[in-house]
Amino acid sequence: MNTYLRSITVNFGLSGLLMYRTPREVIEGYTDPLVAALAEIPIYMGGDATTSPFLAMNNPPTHPPNNTVAFFTGEDDYEMTRVYGKWLDSEYITMASAEYTSLTNIDNITYSPWAERVLLDGTDGMQFSPVLDTDNPIKAFVNDLSRNCFFDYSYTSDKYAHLDTYMYTI
Amino acid sequence: MFANMTENPENINFDVRVTGTTNMTSSLKAYTFAAKGHYYDLTPLAAESAPKLYNKDMEEIMPVADDDDTFLGVERYSGVCVIALERIFFNMAIYGDDLFQNFTPELSGDIGFFFPQAFVKRESVFTQD
């Protein structure tokens, strides 16, 4: 009985689960009976009149051809923009880090990863960022010196065949 | 790192006075400093403060970059460290103050005379086997 009722609901209430459309109809548009029926029903009865029942691939109802939304580009006054959210109490995306201001004092700082090169503090020197370049130093903690040390590029070693080994010196 | 605090203001916190050394006083709890092996890259201003070092045949040992500098060898694309050569030379400085007088030549009051303590040489290299 349940199966029969479900079949009745699907085939007569929803005009069937499957539709057969030609490619031209799909591209240029057809009126979908279910959406059309929903558009006829008042909203308090569960209808939805906001979606056009005419479905077309080259003119989808979700892409209105004439909309009245304006984009403020800030060309006249760039300060007339709205702040939607902040990251680390800043309007720009920054990274949180810590910096030694003295031997015993570590201050929390934030800085832009795009403006400054971000180096990992306290690395043990086993792994650095991939695709190294020769212009920037690498940083590693040297136990015997009790400090994070900058290593500058010195030369390229050919110790390992087919591998470029950049030698950095302290 | 080994530049003195006027050359590199970041070293003010570490009280690095002589280029070619770095101060270890606070971490070793003694008036020590670290230099590169055999005082490699030591500023010529402190040349008289560094003792001469001889091998067993009484030939003076001169600093060489390959043996006395500290290196990290990093594979370019992966960033994996494949070579690590650490050569660090710990010293104490004896200043020509009230305690150390009547030396010939006289001990310098600013830079002092370097007294070698230990040479740390840790080397690790990936082998291809």
Residues 58-117 of B with CB under 8 A from A: 69-84, 86, 88
d(CA B78, CA A2): 62
Q: Would you call B79 and A130 a contact, using CB atoms and an 8 Å cutoff?
A: yes
Q: Do A105 and A51 share a structural domain?
A: no
pLDDT above 70 covers a percentage of chain A that reads 84
Q: For A155, name the nearest residue in chain B, comparing CA atoms only.
A: B73
Q: What per-residue confidence (pLDDT) applies to A22?
A: 92
d(CA A137, CA A152): 5
On average, the pLDDT of chain B sits at: 84
Of B1, B14, B79, the CB nearest to A170: B1
Of B13, B22, B69, the CB nearest to A145: B22
Q: Do A164 and A100 share a structural domain?
A: yes
In a domain, A19, yes or no: yes
Q: For B33, name the nearest residue in chain A, comparing CA atoms only.
A: A145
Amino acid at B21: T
Does A43 contact B at CB distance below 8 Å? no
Does A129 contact B at CB distance below 8 Å? yes
Does B46 contact A at CB distance below 8 Å? no
In a domain, A116, yes or no: yes
Q: What per-residue confidence (pLDDT) applies to A127?
A: 82
Q: What per-residue confidence (pLDDT) applies to A118?
A: 65
pLDDT at A162 over 80: yes
Closest-CA residue to B37 (of B61, B11, B58): B61
In a domain, A102, yes or no: yes
Q: How far is B99 from chain A (nearest CA, A)?
A: 28
d(CA B25, CA B29): 5
Does B124 contact A at CB distance below 8 Å? no
In a domain, A68, yes or no: no
Of B1, B71, B126, the CB nearest to A167: B71
Q: Which is higher by pLDDT, B110 or A133?
A: A133
Q: Do A112 and A46 share a structural domain?
A: no
pLDDT at B129 over 80: no
Q: Which of A113-127, B26-40, B92-106, B114-128 has the lowest mean pLDDT?
A: A113-127
User: Could you read off the pLDDT of A55-102 as tens digits, one per residue?
Assistant: 888 877 667 666 666 666 677 777 766 677 788 888 888 888 877 777
- Chain B residue numbers touching A100 (CB-CB < 8 A): 13
User: Could you read off the pLDDT of B34-75 as tens digits, one per residue?
Assistant: 888 888 888 888 877 888 888 899 888 888 888 888 888 998
* For residues A132-136, average pLDDT: 86
* For residues A135-162, average pLDDT: 85
Q: How far is CA A109 from CA A96, A101, A106, A113, in A?
A: 6, 11, 9, 12
Mutate to test the interface with A, among B74, B91, B128 (most CBs of A within 10 A): B74
Q: Would you call A165 and B69 a contact, using CB atoms and an 8 Å cutoff?
A: no
In a domain, A69, yes or no: no
Count: domains in chain A: 2
In a domain, A120, yes or no: yes
Q: How far is A161 from chain B (nearest CA, A)?
A: 10
Residues 6+ apart with CB under 8 A from B43: B4, B18, B19, B20
d(CA B107, CA B31): 16
Identify the DSSP state of A90. Answer: B
In a domain, A47, yes or no: yes
pLDDT at B94 over 70: yes
pLDDT at A122 over 60: no
d(CA A71, CA B86): 59
ipTM: 0.83
Residues of the domain holding A8: 2-55
Q: How far is A148 from chain B (nearest CA, A)?
A: 9
Q: What per-residue confidence (pLDDT) applies to A70?
A: 64
Q: What per-residue confidence (pLDDT) applies to A119?
A: 62
What φ, ψ does residue A114 adopt, rounded to 5°? Answer: -90, -30
Of B14, B72, B76, the CB nearest to A125: B72
Count CB pairs under 8 A between chains A and B: 99
